[in-house]
């Protein structure tokens, strides 16, 4: 068992599977939860996930769920979009600056050539 930065406990896949196996072999969910010092609801979620999707969907420490991975990807994409929008904004400012400079140079050249 590891702890997250905020102090919550994280359980590896083997621990989760062993806990659910005990329940499936006949021990009461409350007794297993009490013995392992975990919440009954947490054990219930592990059991439900194994029954519905299989053991491979019980994620190990540090692995993201499918939903978490999608959220992370969307967040990454939003950051990239924001970065590109900032870049476009800077380029627009540079274009305006250079356009004004070009006009000034053209005006100065016209004034000089008229003399």
Q: Is the pLDDT at 4 greater than 70, yes or no? A: no
Q: Is the pLDDT at 2 greater than 70, yes or no? A: no
How would CATH label the architecture of 1-63? Orthogonal Bundle (1.10)
Nearest to 10 by CA among 55, 49, 70, 63: 63
Dump pLDDT digits (tens) for 39-82: 999 999 999 988 888 887 777 665 555 666 677 778 888 999 99
Structure tokens at 85: 């929008």
Residue 46 to residue 55: CA distance in whole angstroms: 9
Average pLDDT, the chain: 85
Q: Is the pLDDT at 21 greater than 90, yes or no? A: yes
The phi and psi torsions of 9 (rounded to 5 degrees) equal: -85, 145
Spans of all domains in the chain: 1-63, 65-115
Higher-confidence position of 110 and 114: 110
Rounded to a whole number, what is the distance in angstroms from the first to the last CA of the chain?
A: 86
Tell me what pLDDT residue 68 has: 64
Specify the 3-state DSSP secondary structure of 77.
Answer: helix
Alpha helices in the chain (DSSP H): 13-24, 29-36, 40-53, 66-114
Q: Is the pLDDT at 15 greater than 70, yes or no? A: yes
Of the candidate ranges 8-12, 75-79, 100-104, the one whose mean pLDDT is the lowest: 8-12
Write the CA distances from 14 to 18, 56, 59, 74, 96, integer angstroms. 6, 11, 10, 30, 61
Residue 10 to residue 8: CA distance in whole angstroms: 7
Q: Is the pLDDT at 12 greater than 60, yes or no? A: yes
């Amino acid at each position: 068992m590891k702890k997250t930065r905020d102090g919550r406990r994280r359980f590896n896949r083997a621990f989760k599977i062993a806990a659910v196996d005990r329940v499936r072999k006949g021990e009461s969910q409350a007794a297993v939860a009490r013995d392992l010092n975990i919440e009954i609801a947490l054990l219930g979620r592990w059991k439900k996930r194994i029954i519905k999707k299989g053991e491979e969907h019980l994620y190990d420490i540090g692995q993201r769920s499918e939903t978490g991975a999608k959220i992370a990807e969307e967040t990454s994409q939003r950051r990239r979009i924001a970065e590109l929008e900032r870049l476009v904004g800077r380029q627009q400012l540079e274009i305006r600056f250079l356009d004004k400079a070009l006009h000034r140079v053209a005006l100065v050249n016209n004034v000089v050539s008229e003399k």
